[in-house]
Amino acid sequence: MKEPTVLDYVRSKIFFWRGERVEIPLPGDEVEGDDLRELVQGLPLDEVGSLSTPEASEPGTRGAFDWVRWVGWKALLPLGLALFAQRALEPPHRSLSAGIVFYLLALGVLVWAQWRGHLALPHMAGMDYRSDSLPIRLLPMGGSIVFGLLAFLAFEGNRFTQMNLVLWVISLALFIYACWMPGREANPWRERVRIALIYFRDHGVHFSPWTLFVISVFALSAFFRLYRLDSVPPEMFSDHAEKLLDVADVLDGEYSIFFTRNTGREAFQMYLTAAMGKLFGTGLSFLSLKLGTALAGLFTLPFIYLLGKEIVNRRVGLLAMAFAGIAYWPNVISRVALRFTLYPFFAAPTLYFLIRGLRRGSRNDFILSGIFLGLGLHGYSPFRFMPIVVLVTVGLFLLHHRLKAISRQTLWGLIVLILASLLVFLPLLRFALSNMDSFSYRMLTRMTDVEQPLSDPAWQVFLENLWGAMTMFFWDDGEIWVHSVTHRPALSVVSAALFFLGGGMLTVRYLRRRDWLDAFLLVSIPLLMMTSVLSLAFPGENPSLNRTGGALIPVFLIVGIALDGLLTTLEGSLNRPLWGQRLAGGVGVLLLAWSCAQDYDLVFRQYTNYFALASWNTSELGAVIRQFADTIGEEDTAWVVPYPHWVDTRLVGIRAGVPLRDYALWPDQLSQTLDDPRAKLFLFKPEDVTAMETLRELYPTGVLQLYDSEIEGKDFYVYFVPPAQR
């Protein structure tokens, strides 16, 4: 074979999409012996490079350990430098200069070690492509189009009805039947279930060690997501009242497609919350809202695991799921009980089935990806950028795989995905086409000058927002107290350090090997944060942990890839494999424990305390009214006197167990209560002198008492009026 020239090498780097790879061996890239192959667990030699091990001691002697030649330090040193760098960026005593210097040192050691082949970064999964020769069934496809058009026409009036739902489901079912490829997998799921049932019948239930690992990690994640859910966060704010009013409409039989209250909201959370209230008996309450979003956040994690397993290997998937499961960022956006967590909840399966479809040429996976893409558009507004992410991902794949057969089949798969998503999106599409102003209002107020003018040229604000979003992992997660501990890194020390190292590893490898999955992980992060970046009219809302929520998927996958690579390097760094595994396991456990401790503190102490200080104590006002109604008074003889920038009186009713009652009674309306002889209760802010004077004038026999709140600065007055003597 003709030896490649320098010109061939340069061409392969410039025109990388042609698939031609020419590599020039570097000094020190040689690997000797078969033993090293086993120590690095089958990793290809061109990836492992010159991983070296200490020379074995002769029998009967105790050889000195060669620290200079020990390759493990090349993994531990950049890790230690990155951890030190991120620790320097932690509040309250932060040093930006120290953080930058140590991160640059970590990056320098990392690039040198990886370029020399001393870091065992795990390979991305290769292609498992199969030709798709089965044609689409035309008759069911025609039926799907007909029923879809009928459903589209029936979705008028912004209401789900029995008729339009039946038409919609029939259309979607016919589409799936028309496109689905039976027997695609070598071992279909039904056969797997049958085999598993036979095995369980004959041998009982037995779990492999790996299955126990996965279950344990999921259980740990469930603890972090569900522990103290009733009290973290402790209070509601006005958005929760709007959501529960929408849920009340659902329970009253108003099945809206798009809820127009409070500038407009997609429907998924309203129906999810109604289901939680019915299923768990929690009714129209804050806890019902929390249960729906917390469970959605929890069940995002299996798809992160599956995506890591699909892209790299199962250990990367497990590590990604573990760090995402305990992390403060996804935890708080799940607990705050708004639609925020629905972004990653639908983005994770959309990306998982998309990557499977691209890697395997599987039409079925494209269909499933399209279904989740369509469902996500019913969830949370930032998901509207997700179709762009899908198109860019397919574009990256096609750019790196130029074979005509693969390109043609991929494009057909993309068409199937788009059609599936359009069918699922159909009800909201009908509403949007008829009510574009309502559908796009909130999005336009953030991106354009509809509500307020841009402070600077759009391109300048965009670049500043992009920088703020891309650095939030290490420096500042924004100023929105509702879903963050403000002005601190979005990631814990360990996760941020691993994410930095992982990003560096993938960048270096992409420059050398041009793997499209490396590019996908790196490019998808800014794309999935774009709805936060595009807050041009309100740059103070960027970065925000809610609108960037989809990015946590690739972020924690990169964390898993980095840690897997470092642990694999440590495992293969000793001449005794068992000791190498123990060293790697110890490092992994220490990092996870450190992250658990910090993330626990961030969620259950810092976030909880900051939230309580920033929000109003409607739970305490509601508890006072509830106690009054259960003892001497009644629910309808208690009132809250409104005051500027004080409590939302609708929330007091929710907390008092009367969710549809607004307890507001303005000072000029207090006299209207005189004719009622029953016991009365009035709650008002200490600064409200008018309310105090009016009540004393109207009810001179009333009793005034200051309620001492658990939160400093949140006290309020309770004015009790005894029942009239008959």
Q: Within a domain: residue 279?
A: no
Convert the pLDDT of each residue in 685-696 to its tens digit: 999 999 999 999
Residues 512 and 375 both lie in one domain: yes
Residue 638 shares a structural domain with residue 529: no
Phi, psi (rounded to 5 degrees) for 242: -65, -40
Cβ–Cβ under 8 Å, residues 541 and 478? yes
Residues 597 and 673 in one domain: no
User: What is the C-alpha to C-alpha distance for residues 702 and 693, in angstroms, rounded to an integer?
Assistant: 12
Residues 334 and 321 occupy one common structural domain: yes
Kind plus residue range of the DSSP H or E element containing 707: strand 703-707
39 pLDDT more than 70: no
Q: Is residue 612 pLDDT above 50, yes or no?
A: yes
For 194, phi and psi rounded to 5 degrees?
Answer: -65, -45
- Same-domain check for residues 416 and 457: yes
Mean per-residue pLDDT for 592-618?
A: 97
The whole-number average pLDDT for the span 708-712 is 93
Question: 475 with 332: CB under 8 angstroms?
Answer: no
Q: Is the pLDDT of residue 284 over 50?
A: yes
Concatenated DSSP letters of 564-595? HHHHHHHHTSSSSHHHHHHHHHHHHHHHHHHH
In one-letter notation, the amino acid at residue 562 is A
For residue 29, name the pLDDT band (cuts at 50, 70, 90): very low
pLDDT (average), residues 247-276: 95
DSSP string, 184-234: -SSS-HHHHHHHHHHHHHHH-----HHHHHHHHHHHHHHHHHHTTTTTSS-
Instruction: Read off the DSSP letter of residue 479.
Output: S
What pLDDT is attached to residue 724? 84
Question: Of the candidates 500, 501, 504, 478, which has an alpha carbon nearest to the alpha carbon of residue 489?
Answer: 478
Residue 187 has pLDDT above 70, yes or no: no
Q: 281 is written with which tokens?
A: 């008996």
Dist CA 358 CA 355 (whole Å): 5
Indicate if the pLDDT at residue 665 is higher than 50.
yes
pLDDT surpasses 80 at 18: no
Q: What pLDDT does residue 55 have?
A: 37
Measured CA angle at 30 (ends 28, 34), to 5 deg: 140
Q: Are 647 and 618 in contact (CB under 8 A)?
A: yes
Angle at the Cα of 56 from the Cα atoms of 53 and 60, rounded to 5 degrees: 160
Structure letter (DSSP) for residue 722: P
pLDDT tens digits for 402-448? 788 889 999 999 999 999 999 999 999 999 999 998 899 888 988 98
Question: Per-residue pLDDT for 53 more than 70?
Answer: no
Average pLDDT, the chain: 89
* 544 within a domain of the structure (yes/no): yes
Is 286 inside a domain boundary?
Answer: no
Is 660 contained in some domain? yes
Same domain, 411 and 349: yes
142-175 confidence digits (pLDDT tens): 999 999 999 999 999 999 999 999 999 999 999 9
Could you give the 3-state DSSP secondary structure of residue 392? helix
Give residue 150's domain range.
135-180
Average pLDDT over residues 456-468: 95
| Separation of alpha carbons 579 and 572, rounded Å | 10
673 shares its domain with 555: no
Other beta carbons within 10 Å of 88: 19
More confident: 21 or 196: 196
The answer to the question of residue 189 being in a domain is: no
Domain boundary among 574, 591, 613: 613
Question: How are beta strands 680-684 and 716-721 bridged, if at all?
Answer: antiparallel
Residue 288: inside a domain: no
> Looking at residue 281, what DSSP letter applies?
S
pLDDT score of 533 more than 50? yes
Note whether 652 and 597 are same-domain residues. no
DSSP 101-129: HHHHHHHHHHHHHHHTT-S-PPPPP----
Same domain, 165 and 225: no
Residues whose CB falls within 8 Å of the CB of residue 508, separated by 6 or more in sequence, listed in order: 110, 111, 114, 115
Q: Is residue 480 part of a domain?
A: yes
Single out the residue of 392, 305, 295 nearest to residue 342, CA to CA.
295
Structure tokens at 634: 């009644």
Q: Are residues 631 and 661 in the same domain?
A: yes
CA-CA distance, 520 to 389, in Å (whole number)?
A: 10
Whether 358 has a pLDDT exceeding 90, the answer reads yes
Helices (H) and strands (E) in the chain, counts: 30, 6
Give the model's pLDDT for residue 725.
60
Q: How many structural domains does the chain have?
A: 3
Q: Specify the pLDDT at position 34.
A: 40
What confidence tens digit (pLDDT) does each residue in 536-584 have? 999 999 999 999 999 999 999 999 999 999 999 998 877 778 888 899 9
If you compute the radius of gyration of the chain from its CA atoms, what whole number of angstroms results? Answer: 30
d(CA 691, CA 246): 32
What tokens does 175 get?
């589409």
* Average confidence (pLDDT) over 172-196: 76
**Which among 571, 595, 613 is the end of a domain?**
613
Residue after which a domain boundary falls, among 556, 589, 613? 613
The dihedrals phi and psi of 266, each to the nearest 5 degrees, come to: -70, 165
In a domain, 491, yes or no: yes
Could you tell me which residues are beta bridge partners of residue 687? none
Residue with tokens 């105090």: 692
In this structure, are 640 and 518 located in the same domain? no
**DSSP track, 430-476:** HHHHH-HHHHHHHHHHHHSSSSS--SS-HHHHHHHHHHHHHTTTTS-
Quick one: the chain helix, strand, coil %, rounded to 5?
65, 5, 35
523 and 393, same structural domain?
yes
Q: Cα–Cα distance between 650 and 656 in angstroms, integer?
A: 10
Asked if pLDDT for residue 80 goes beyond 80, the answer is yes
Q: Which residues contact 561 (CB under 8 A, 6 or more apart)?
A: 121, 122, 308, 312, 316, 320, 502, 505, 506, 521
